[in-house]
């Protein structure tokens, strides 16, 4: 049986981890109805804040969840052999009005790897590109190392 050793990532390790990654899974919920979507993000390590550009259509499930000002969980993770790292950020998504965007925010949105305009299979005149920030109330990272030397052959 494999044994796991878990340790908490320090704030500096968490910032470094988030800085070298660009994608994660954003999970939202309304009562008993969950929604999760892979996304690209920008991360400001000084303010510990995330930035997202999210594209949706009026009838999309994503828009329905975003319109409810949900609390979200962003999960970023990696696997490297027997080592696993993950960071979970929890907080309320806040939509940013493009008319009120600051120079610092523009720089952060520029860090997101997802293009500002996406290519859709058919013309979609009602695409909505919304800018969001996540200023987490909770931000935690962990490192798990699996010792497989105790596995039975």
- Percent of the chain at pLDDT > 70 equals 80
| Mean per-residue pLDDT, 100-112 | 63
**For residue 118, what pLDDT is reported?**
46
Of the candidates 16, 133, 132, the residue with the CA atom closest to the CA atom of residue 76: 16
**Where are the chain's structural domains?**
3-140
- With vertex at residue 123, the alpha carbon angle to CA 61 and CA 34, rounded to the nearest 5 degrees, is 10
Domain 3-140 sits in which CATH superfamily? Answer: Electron Transport, Fmn-binding Protein; Chain A (2.30.110.10)
Query: Between residues 20 and 109, which one has the greater pLDDT?
Result: 20
Residue 119, phi then psi, degrees to nearest 5: -95, 125
Of the candidates 16, 22, 1, 5, the residue with the CA atom closest to the CA atom of residue 84: 5
| 46-93 tens-digit pLDDT | 999 998 888 888 788 888 888 777 789 999 999 998 999 999 999 999
**For residue 3, what pLDDT is reported?**
59
| 134-152 tens-digit pLDDT | 999 999 999 999 887 765 5
Nearby residues of 45 by Cβ (< 8 Å), 6 or more positions away = 15, 18, 19
- What's the token pair of residue 92? 């309320």
User: Which residue stretches of 27-93 are H helix?
Assistant: 61-66
pLDDT band at 24 (very low <50, low <70, confident <90, very high): very high
Would you call 104 helix, strand, or coil by DSSP?
helix
Are residues 9 and 85 in contact, defined by beta-carbon separation less than 8 angstroms? Answer: yes
Q: What is the dihedral of CA 96, 94, 27, 74, to 10 degrees?
A: 90
């Amino acid at each position: 049986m494999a044994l796991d050793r878990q340790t908490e990532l320090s704030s500096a390790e968490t910032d470094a981890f988030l800085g070298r990654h660009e994608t994660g899974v954003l999970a939202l919920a309304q009562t008993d109805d969950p929604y999760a979507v892979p996304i690209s993000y920008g991360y400001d390590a000084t303010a510990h804040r995330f930035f997202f550009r999210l594209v949706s259509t009026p009838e999309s499930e994503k828009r329905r969840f975003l319109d409810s000002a949900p609390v979200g969980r962003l999960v970023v993770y990696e696997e490297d052999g027997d080592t696993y790292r993950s960071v979970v950020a929890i907080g309320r998504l806040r939509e940013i009005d493009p008319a009120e965007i600051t120079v610092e925010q523009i720089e952060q949105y520029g860090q997101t790897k997802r293009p500002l305009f996406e290519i859709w299979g058919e013309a979609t005149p009602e695409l909505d590109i919304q800018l969001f920030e996540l200023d987490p109330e909770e931000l935690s990272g962990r490192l798990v190392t699996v010792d497989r030397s105790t596995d039975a052959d």
